[in-house]
Amino acid sequence: MEGSRKPLAKIEGRRRMSQSGLTIAWRGTPRLDDWVAYIVNGSSSAKSILAHGTCERMVRHLLERLHTMTKAEIQKLAKG
């Protein structure tokens, strides 16, 4: 017998980088390797992906590194 099961909780967030002025958004599920981080543009069709299918720890570490990078360095790192 299958009981009803709660869906897994998703975590989302966004942060504006002070050095570059870009806004970085991320989302994922705790304890799963489905996290994604991307540069937020005006349109949703043209997202530049920074990390895809990684763990939460890797996304947090990436956000720390991006604080000191310039806009050109971050866009070079992205897989547009």
Residues 4-60 pLDDT 10s: 887 888 999 999 998 999 999 999 999 899 999 999 975 556 678 999 999 999 999
Measured CA distances, 60 to 13, 30, 45, 66, 67 (Å) = 11, 12, 24, 10, 11
Q: Is residue 2 part of a domain?
A: no
Q: Is residue 5 part of a domain?
A: no
Please give the residue range of the domain that contains residue 65: 11-77
40 Cβ contact list (under 8 Å, min separation 6): 14, 22, 23, 24, 25, 47
Q: Is residue 4 part of a domain?
A: no
Q: Is residue 63 part of a domain?
A: yes
pTM: 0.82
Domain tally, the chain: 1
Residues 69-80 pLDDT 10s: 999 999 899 875
Q: Is residue 3 part of a domain?
A: no
Q: Is residue 45 part of a domain?
A: yes
Q: Is residue 1 part of a domain?
A: no
